[in-house]
Amino acid sequence: MNNRKPKLFLDMDNTMVDTLAVLNPATEQATTLGLAKPDQIPGIFRNLKPLPHLMEALQQLSVYYDLYILTTAPWNNISAWSDKLAWLHEYFGNDEQSFFYKRVIMTHDKGLARAEGGILVDDRPYHGAAAWEDNELGTAWLQYNYDEKMRWGADDGLVDLLIATAKVYQTQNINIRTALLKANQIRHLKLHGPMDDFQKEAWEK
């Protein structure tokens, strides 16, 4: 039996935080400010709302996983980087009791973090997320909100799959990717869409 917890890496935007609901209506504001995109507006990432059922889901998952943040931020919006950390402090605290205390990775290539192993939950394949689909390293990418089952709070959905995966991982001498595929054999959930075909928002293009 493997007593170590597996690792679960979480994207923030549109996976933990309801980002597009704020960015999409802000395109005109960005133009007024002379900015190319709404994600470049200073402070726009600071006061976003958590997605429904996020807090309950992470409370459950923290029993089975070591949780990490793996996110990116617009290169031309300096405040976005600090605002994301401030958001995490607000909702999860800033001490050793926090799920994410000193477990935050901000990068434009999430594929680099695969060396740590584990599962990445991310809403889109970009910035190296799809690279987590790696048989050799034993890592996996789950696409948040790919369908109604791949959401926090879904019955027999994402959280249940992740818990089942952790139990398989801890009782068998296999990597977390293999454990995920075994746990999904009886669920048949759609883990992600095509890795090279994702519809961006109009302002992202």
Provide the number of structural domains found in the chain: 1
Q: Does any domain span residue 139? A: yes
Confidence (pTM): 0.95
Q: Which residue has the tokens 């696409």?
A: 143
Q: Does any domain span residue 176? A: yes
Q: Return d(Cα 71, Cα 105) in angstroms, integer.
A: 6
Q: Does any domain span residue 2? A: no
Q: Does any domain span residue 133? A: yes
Q: Does any domain span residue 143? A: yes
For 57-100, the DSSP string reads HHHHHTTT-EEEEEE---TT-HHHHHHHHHHHHHHH-SSTTSTT
Residues that are catalytic: 11, 13
Q: What CATH number has the domain bearing residue 150?
A: 3.40.50.1000
Count, residues in the chain: 205
Q: Does any domain span residue 45? A: no
Q: Give the residue numbers spanning the domain of 181.
A: 7-18+51-196
Q: What is the pLDDT along the chain (205 residues), one digit of tens a residue?
A: 667 899 999 999 999 999 999 999 999 999 999 999 999 999 999 999 999 999 999 999 999 999 999 999 999 999 999 999 999 999 999 999 999 999 999 999 999 999 888 999 999 999 999 999 999 999 999 999 999 999 999 999 999 999 999 999 999 999 999 999 999 999 999 999 987 778 788 767 6
Helix (H) or strand (E) segment spanning residue 27: helix 27-32
Q: Please state whether beta strands 66-71 and 140-143 pair in parallel, antiparallel, or not at all (unpaired).
A: unpaired
Q: Does any domain span residue 126? A: yes
Helix (H) or strand (E) segment spanning residue 169: helix 158-171
